[in-house]
Amino acid sequence: MRKAGKVVAEMHEATRAAIRPGITTLELNEVAAEVLAKRGARSNFLNYHGFPAVICTSPNDMIVHGIPGTYKLKEGDIISIDCGAIIEGYHGDAAYTAGVGQISDVAQRLIDVTERSLWAGIDQLVIGNRLHEVGRAVQNVAEAAGFSVVREYVGHAIGTAMHESPQVPNYWPGTPGPTLKEGMVFAIEPMVNVGSYDTYELDDGWSVVTRDGQLSAHFEHTIAVTDNGPEVFTIS
């Protein structure tokens, strides 16, 4: 999983470096696909329930699961990019949101707060803690900033499949959840909205957008619970 995580981190670096006004989301997909090919990794996104690409690209009010295509990034956009890779049967999964050129103050604040909420959640991944403390920590950071946390899509355990049980809510679900043990691995992935947390799925059967049309950001890492504290696999 460390190896798969490194490939995902490289997909982040390569796509981030390619983001500019005028590039299409399909071109970003090609950049990510080149990294997979170079590292001998397989895609866990391609053909997942029929998904047609190796990354998800979700601009502006799109929360997650956007399909790369002809959309051209433009100055002032924000773009969420979710990447995954399989090495030797083990999965990595991580996402980030970036601005395109100069972005609004609220867009920048949304990106910063969402990333900070992810790290607050990661800090909770310690042996003996209860899993849903992750969601409580994420929610506290997001809501203190005046934003909302998406309820309908959540994080997950990950290993030899991308999506394993249990789920990892990004909010306090009312119960503490399982006790964390050494060797458990989770993908924590807060989706944070400027407005309400209500979501809406487009007719393509994939793209999920905010119901109120306001901006959304998404950050994700794959992290192991170790006797040394949380170990983030999806950073270089």
Task: Please calculate the CA angle 31-1-150 and round it to the nearest 5 degrees.
Answer: 70
Could you tell me the smallest distance in angstroms from the CB atom of residue 204 to Mg ion? 18
Q: Kindly give the residue spans of alpha helices, DSSP state H, lying in the chain.
A: 2-18, 25-38, 105-122, 133-144
What is the size of the binding site for Mg ion (CB under 5 A)?
Answer: 6
Nearer to Mg ion, 148 or 170 (CB): 170
Binding mask 159-188 for Mg ion (x = CB under 5 A): ----------------------------x-
Q: For the chain, report the end-to-end CA distance as a whole number of angstroms.
A: 13
Q: Which is nearer to Mg ion, 6 or 227 (CB)?
A: 6
In this complex, which beta carbon is closest to Mg ion, that of residue 10 or of residue 220?
Answer: 220
Question: Using the rule CB under 5 A, is 82 a contact of Mg ion?
Answer: yes
Q: Is the dihedral of CA 171, 172, 177, 183 positive or negative?
A: positive
153 or 200: CB nearest Mg ion: 153
Which range touches Mg ion (CB under 5 A), out of 8-16, 79-87, 141-149, 225-233?
79-87
Output the smallest distance, CB 136 to Mg ion, in A: 19
Does residue 15 touch Mg ion according to CB under 5 A?
A: no
Long-range contacts of 28-34 (CB under 8 A, 24+ apart): 28/55, 28/57, 28/68, 28/81, 29/53, 29/54, 29/55, 29/57, 29/68, 32/81, 32/83
Provide φ and ψ at 132, rounded to 5°.
-75, -5
The region of 65-73, 75-83, 173-181, 200-208 touching Mg ion under the rule CB under 5 A is 75-83
93 binds Mg ion (CB under 5 A): yes
- Measured CA to CA, the distance from residue 107 to residue 125 in angstroms comes to 28
Residue 83 CB, nearest distance to Mg ion (Å)? 7
Candidates 77-85, 144-152, 192-200, 210-218; binding stretch for Mg ion (CB under 5 A)? 77-85
Stretch that binds Mg ion, among 17-25, 41-49, 166-174, 215-223 (CB under 5 A): 215-223
CB of 21 to Mg ion, least distance (A): 25
CA atoms within 13 A on the CB side of 147: 34
- Which amino acid, residue 229? G
Q: How would you classify the pairing of strands 155-157 and 164-168?
A: antiparallel
Residue 191, Cβ neighbours under 10 Å: how many? 32
Site residues (vs Mg ion, CB under 5 A): 82, 93, 95, 187, 189, 220
